[in-house]
Structure 1
Amino acid sequence: MRIEGLSTILLRGAFAALPKVVPSFPMNEDGPRAMPQPPVSGPGAPPMPSVQMLVALAAGDPGIERRRKQAVDAERGLDALDRLHREVLAGTPSVARLQEIAEWSQGFTNPDDPVLKDILSEIDLRVRVELAKFDVEA
C-alpha cells in the first residue's frame, strides 16, 4: 500500500516505529529505502494465516458471537420502535406491532458488556414508555 501526499515529517514519524517492529527494514533519513522481503515459505517456515483461518478464529470466539447477537437484538428493538412510531404518525398502531414490542421487552436480558448494557437498557426503557402509552404491560 502506498500513501501519497504526506509530508516528510509525517513520513519520518510513521516509519520511526517500523525498525522496532521489523528490524530488517532498511531506513535512511528520508524514509524507507526498499520494501522488506516477505518471509520465506517452506517446510520449516511457520504457516501464514489465511483469511479463512482468521474468519474461523473469529467465528470460534464465543464472546464475539454473543456481542453480535446482542447487537442484532438491539437493532431488532430499534426497528420495532421505528415501525411503531410510523404507525402512530399514520394513526393508530396495530395490535401486532404492540405485541411485537412487548415480546422484545419480555425477552430482554442485560449483557455483560457495560456499553451494550447501557444501550440496550435505554432501548428497553423507551419500549416500556411506548407500551405504557397504550396501557400494554411487558
Structure 2
Amino acid sequence: MRIYGPNGTTLGGPSSAPRRSGGSGFTLPEPATTADARPLSAPKASANIDALLAMQGIEDPVERRKRSVARGKGALDVLDELKMGLLSGSFDNTTVARLRAAAADLKASSGDPGLDAVLSEIELRVEVELAKAGQF
C-alpha cells in the first residue's frame, strides 16, 4: 500500500530543474518555492494522546489485585490498632478516623471473587467497629 501526500513516501525521481527547449519560445517565470507555501493544518497528535491516555486507564488485573490485598491488610492493621487501644484503655479518635478511611477504600472491586468475598467480610467487621464507636 502506498501513501501519497505530505506524510507519505515519495519516489526518488529526477530533480525538478526547469526544462529548456532549444527555441526562444514564451516561458513563464517559475515562482520561488518557500517553506511557507504549504498550507497550514491542525496537528493530528490529539488522537494519539487520547489513545495513550486510554491505555494508561486500563488496569492490569494483577496490579488491581495487589492494591486490593494491600487495602485489606491496611484495614486489618487498623482493626488491630483499635483492638490494642481498647484493651489498653487508650481509645483515640485518630484510629477511628483511619478505620473510617479504610472502610471507604474497601468498596472497590478487585476482580477476584474470592478476594472480594474476604474484603467484604473485612469491610463488615470495620463497619461493626465503627458502629460500636458511634462513628458510623
The number of residues matched between the two structures is: 77
Residue 61 of structure 2 contacts residue 111 of structure 2 at CA under 8 Å; is this kept in 1?
A: no
Residue 74 of structure 1 contacts residue 123 of structure 1 at CA under 8 Å; is this kept in 2?
A: yes
Q: Which residue of 2 aligns with 1:43?
A: none
Uncovered stretches (5+) of structure 1, i.e. residues with no partner: 1-60
More helix as a share of residues:
1
Moved beyond 2 Å, runs of 4+: none
What one-letter code is carried by the residue in structure 1 that aligns with 2:130? L
TM-score, scaled relative to structure 1: 0.53
Q: Which residue of 1 aligns with 2:131?
A: 132
Uncovered stretches (5+) of structure 2, i.e. residues with no partner: 1-58
TM-score, scaled relative to structure 2: 0.54
Q: Which residue of 2 aligns with 1:7?
A: none
Q: Which residue of 1 aligns with 2:65?
A: 67
Residue 82 of structure 2 contacts residue 95 of structure 2 at CA under 8 Å; is this kept in 1?
A: yes
Residue 65 of structure 2 contacts residue 111 of structure 2 at CA under 8 Å; is this kept in 1?
A: no
Could you say which structure has the larger radius of gyration?
2
Shift of 1:100: 0.1
Q: Which residue of 2 aligns with 1:114?
A: 113
Q: Which residue of 2 aligns with 1:32?
A: none
Identity %: 32
Distance across 1 between alignment mates of 2:102 and 2:92: 16
Pairing partner for 1:96 from 94, 97, 116: 94
Tell which has more relative contact order, 1 or 2 (C-alpha 8 A, sep 6+): 2
What one-letter code is carried by the residue in structure 2 that aligns with 1:125? L
Query: How big is the alpha-carbon RMSD for the aligned residues of Structure 1 and Structure 2?
Result: 1.4
